Amino acid sequence: MVEAVFNIIHAGPLVSVQDLGRPNLMRYGVPRSGPMDQKSFAIANAALGNAANSPCIELSTAGLSLECIKGAVTLAVVGGGFIVEAGDQRLGSWTVLTVKAGQKLTIKPGPWGSWSYLAFAGQLDATPWLGSAATHSQSGQGGGKLVSGGQIVVQSAKILPNCEGTIPCPVWARPRHEIHIVAGPQDRFFDEAAFDALLRQPFRLTDAYDRMGVRLRGPSLIPKAALSIPSEAILRGSIQVSGDGTATVLLADHQTTGGYPKIATIIADDVDGFCQNRPHDEVRFKSILPQAAVELTRRRANAMAVYLSGLERRRQEHK
Amino acid sequence: MEFPIFRPVADHAVLVEFGEDITDDAHAHVLNLDRALSSAPFTGFKEAIPAFVNLLVDFDPLLTDHSTVETALRHLMRLPASEQSQSQHREVLVCYEDLFAKDLAAIAHHTGLSQEAVINAHLAGDYKIYMYGFAPGYAYMAGTPKSIQLARKPSPVRGIEAGSVIIAGAQCLVTTLTMPTGWWVLGRSPTRILTDNPHQPFLFDVGDHITFRRISLAEYEAAKAQ
């Protein structure tokens, strides 16, 4: 077995192992987890020809610095506009390169984006929990958070010269400032003024931003009455409003249930681009009907499929 | 309002509501639809999440859409309730020793009962799992007898250990994480809710009935050591 081993010189907060997450367990209180930006994660694995569910390292703007101490491996850094320093090369994210024993690899925030994905051509050693290596941030179960002083081991490490080089960053992988929402499921608890404010005024992400969710700053969306609804399931993308009118968008590691009303829900595909905004970035919400949301999702999925097949063709041609 | 109500959620889910207030009838409808779905899922079904009065049904928007899903769910609801996969009865062990029962004296004080009477009342309850929430394995049960129902404490207490048996109002819960809580701590359970069994990773299903069985400190330690 060919191994590549890295020492973790520095890992900031919110740097963790993620795969596609744990579906079908929300009924037991387990959030799906998995990548904050699902499309960038998928592209990172596809760039190396990895299986879609291969564990990767999700990087926050806190950055990561590694030193390869054994072996060599080709890796992809995809998502956000991050800076990648490897040996004497200085690159942007959306790149595939090979790192060898004795070389350092540093990934830090660049001009834009909040999340990037580091995928390896090989198998990243990560402990699964409930069938997934994704890290559950509250309990630390799964592959876990990366900590300075720790180690990363990649089994069956491969060198893939045909994959190396930059890969195109599609426009839809950039931060999204116009966010499509579908009203509800508790839109009836809000009056027209609150809805007007939601749709006509800008909101900003705040520093209260982690893998569970992000609090927004913007107009107050006070519900019509002091309401308590029996706890019910929440989804990634729910816009939950607390009693004082503050909106919070729930993200990958959200609690599975809650009793606050949800004025609207972001369509799944826009959550990726929403997450790539940074604190203080501005977003505007655009309400669409459920059927239009389904059609938009299908067009977007089509664009992603076309992009992925282009990536695969390039990989084959370079062989 | 006429129930059930189907509310679209984003591009990929439907929330099926069976009432506004928590009632046994609303929850029975939630369970029936949940069971019907698990035995006959529609094309594009991903997962269903039962709660007190509603069921969230998540689907793949590349394969289906809200109105097709609503039609499929209405069809399932017209079928007779399944006789199979009825609720299980499960037993949870609980040790009420002072070491664990941090609020037993306070509960006795607030209810005017002796500590032994509080324990007996808790043991006499017939509990049902209504939903999971908050964190992995947090199974919300109702069925705490009226005589020991107390409102939540005014502010949460930190560091309540995993395995604590806690009550608030009609609710009862066995915690799986060490965390702050404003609920009243009545004892500690060695029963594993996260089972480590890949075929049944969680001990309870929503709808299961639970009774508690009292054990001594020695029995607690023996059970923990297993």
Which chain A residues are Cβ-neighbours of B51 within 8 angstroms? 230-233, 257
Residue A1 has pLDDT above 70, yes or no: no
Distance separating alpha carbons of residues B167 and B148, to the nearest angstrom: 9
pLDDT tens-digit profile of B92-105? Answer: 999 999 999 999 99
Q: Does an H or E element contain A175, and which?
A: none
Q: Which segment of B20-24, B82-86, B139-143 scores lowest on mean pLDDT?
A: B82-86
Q: Residue B165: what residue type?
A: V
Q: How much is the pLDDT for A148?
A: 97
Cβ-defined contact of B56 to A184 (cutoff 8 Å): no
pLDDT tens-digit profile of B17-40? Answer: 999 888 899 999 999 999 999 999
Q: How much is the pLDDT for B21?
A: 87
CA distance A179 to chain B (A): 12
Q: How much is the pLDDT for A228?
A: 64
Q: Residue A135: what residue type?
A: T
Under a CB-based contact definition with an 8 Å cutoff, are residues A97 and A89 in contact?
Answer: yes
Cβ–Cβ contact B128 with A under 8 A = no
CA distance A40 to chain B (A): 19
Cβ–Cβ contact A30 with B under 8 A = yes
Q: How much is the pLDDT for A19?
A: 98
pLDDT tens-digit profile of A216-239? Answer: 999 999 888 756 688 899 999 999
Alpha helix positions (H), chain B: 24-39, 66-78, 104-111, 115-124, 217-225
Domain chopping of chain B, boundaries: 5-78, 89-225
Percent pLDDT > 90 in chain B is 83
CA distance A257 to chain B (A): 5
Q: Which of B142, B1, B196, B34 is nearest to A233 (CA)?
A: B34
Sign of the torsion angle spanned by Cα atoms A220, A223, A228, A234:
negative
Average pLDDT over residues B168-184: 92
Q: How much is the pLDDT for A319?
A: 66
Q: How much is the pLDDT for A244?
A: 87
Q: How confident is the model at residue A190 (pLDDT cuts 50, 70, 90)?
A: very high
Cβ-defined contact of B49 to A233 (cutoff 8 Å): yes
Residue B74 has pLDDT above 70, yes or no: yes
Cβ-defined contact of A139 to B136 (cutoff 8 Å): yes
Sign of the torsion angle spanned by Cα atoms A96, A100, A103, A104:
positive
Residue A243 has pLDDT above 90, yes or no: no
Q: Which segment of A45-49, B10-14, B85-89, B219-223 scores lowest on mean pLDDT?
A: B85-89
pLDDT tens-digit profile of B37-58? Answer: 999 999 999 999 999 999 999 9
Residue B84 has pLDDT above 60, yes or no: no
Residue A260 has pLDDT above 90, yes or no: no
Q: How much is the pLDDT for A60?
A: 97
Cβ-defined contact of A256 to B49 (cutoff 8 Å): yes
Under a CB-based contact definition with an 8 Å cutoff, are residues A28 and A87 in contact?
Answer: no
Domain B5-78 has CATH 3.30.930.10: no
Intra-chain end-to-end CA distance of chain B, in Å: 52
For residue B137, how many C-alpha atoms fall within 13 Å in the half-sphere facing its CB? 21
Contacts of A138-145 spanning 24+ positions with Cβ under 8 A: A138/A212, A138/A253, A138/B135, A138/B177, A139/B135, A139/B136, A139/B177, A141/B136, A142/A17, A142/A33, A143/A16, A143/A17, A143/A18, A143/A19, A143/A55, A144/A16, A144/A17, A145/A11, A145/A13, A145/A14, A145/A15, A145/A16
Q: How much is the pLDDT for A316?
A: 86
SS3 A7: strand
Q: Which of A102, A135, A130, A100 is nearest to A15 (CA)?
A: A135
Contacts of A13 (CB under 8 A, 6+ apart): A60, A62, A145
Question: What tokens does A55 get?
Answer: 């564990």
Q: Are strands A56-59 and A116-120 parallel, antiparallel or unpaired?
A: antiparallel
User: Average pLDDT, whole number, for chain B?
Assistant: 94
Distance separating alpha carbons of residues A172 and A261, to the nearest angstrom: 30
Q: How confident is the model at residue A112 (pLDDT cuts 50, 70, 90)?
A: very high
Average pLDDT over residues B139-163: 92
Q: Does an H or E element contain A205, and which?
A: strand A203-209
- Residue A145 DSSP class: B
Question: What tokens does B174 get?
Answer: 């066995």
Cβ–Cβ contact A286 with B under 8 A = no
How many other CB atoms are there within 10 angstroms of residue A66's CB atom?
Answer: 25
Query: Chain B interface, mutation test: which of A20, A26, A129, A260, most B Cβ atoms within 10 Å?
Result: A26
Question: What tokens does A149 get?
Answer: 């002083």
Cβ-defined contact of B136 to A291 (cutoff 8 Å): no
Q: How confident is the model at residue B61 (pLDDT cuts 50, 70, 90)?
A: very high
Q: How much is the pLDDT for A227?
A: 61
Cβ-defined contact of B47 to A266 (cutoff 8 Å): no
Which chain B residues are Cβ-neighbours of A23 within 8 angstroms? 46-47
pLDDT tens-digit profile of A131-179? Answer: 999 999 888 899 999 999 999 999 999 999 999 999 999 999 999 999 9
Distance separating alpha carbons of residues B49 and A181, to the nearest angstrom: 21
Q: How much is the pLDDT for A307?
A: 98
- Residue B223 DSSP class: H
Distances (CA, A) of A180 to A57, A218, A253, A262, A304: 28, 17, 21, 15, 18
Cβ–Cβ contact B196 with A under 8 A = no
Which chain A residues are Cβ-neighbours of B201 within 8 angstroms? 25, 28, 130
Indicate the residue of A138, A181, A256 with minimum beta-carbon distance to B132: A256
Residue B129 has pLDDT above 80, yes or no: yes
Average pLDDT over residues A7-21: 97
Percent pLDDT > 90 in chain A is 91
Domain B89-225 has CATH 3.40.50.800: no
Q: Residue A166: what residue type?
A: T
Size of interface A-B (CB pairs under 8 A): 129
Domains in chain A, please, with CATH? 4-172 (no CATH), 178-288 (2.40.100.10)
Residue B112 has pLDDT above 90, yes or no: yes
CA distance B48 to chain A (A): 7
Cβ–Cβ contact A256 with B under 8 A = yes
- Residue B39 DSSP class: H
Q: How much is the pLDDT for B223?
A: 95
Q: Are strands B209-214 and B89-94 parallel, antiparallel or unpaired?
A: parallel
Under a CB-based contact definition with an 8 Å cutoff, are residues A102 and A87 in contact?
Answer: no
Percent pLDDT > 70 in chain A is 98
User: Average pLDDT, whole number, for chain A?
Assistant: 95
